Amino acid sequence: MSIEEDLIRDIKPLIEDGNLDALQIAWEELSHNTEFDRPVAWDYVYQKVYLHAALNKQRSICQWMDELYVDFDPVIQIALRHVFPYARYLLNQ
């Protein structure tokens, strides 16, 4: 498994439990971890985590992740834009 898949696997239970506080702490710790053997594709992790939160109707987590979006590089922001309409659809199902 890749680093990204491992991170996503570790984060998903926090989303399913609706544990925003623990997710925020985990995200902060993981995103500042310099011990990974290669750069982490945080945009990929963000996309998968955001959609998982939307699928599980975790609006507060999606709102918090909306705030994280502005910290990404503008090119990454453009690449991630397609996630939001689909996430809104999932939240409203």
Terminus-to-terminus CA distance in the chain, angstroms? 31
- pLDDT digit string (tens) for 32-54? 888 888 999 999 999 999 999 99
Query: What pLDDT does 34 receive?
Result: 83
pLDDT of residue 32: 87
* Residue carrying the six token digits 């309409």: 85
CA-closest candidate to residue 49, choices 88, 3, 16, 81: 16
pTM: 0.92
Q: What is the pLDDT of residues 56-76, one digit of tens each?
A: 999 999 999 999 999 999 999
Please give the share of the chain, as a percent, with pLDDT higher than 90: 88
- How far is 16 from 14, CA to CA, in rounded Å? 6
Contact yes or no for 40/3 (Cβ under 8 A): yes
CA–CA distance, 70 with 76 (Å, rounded to integer): 10
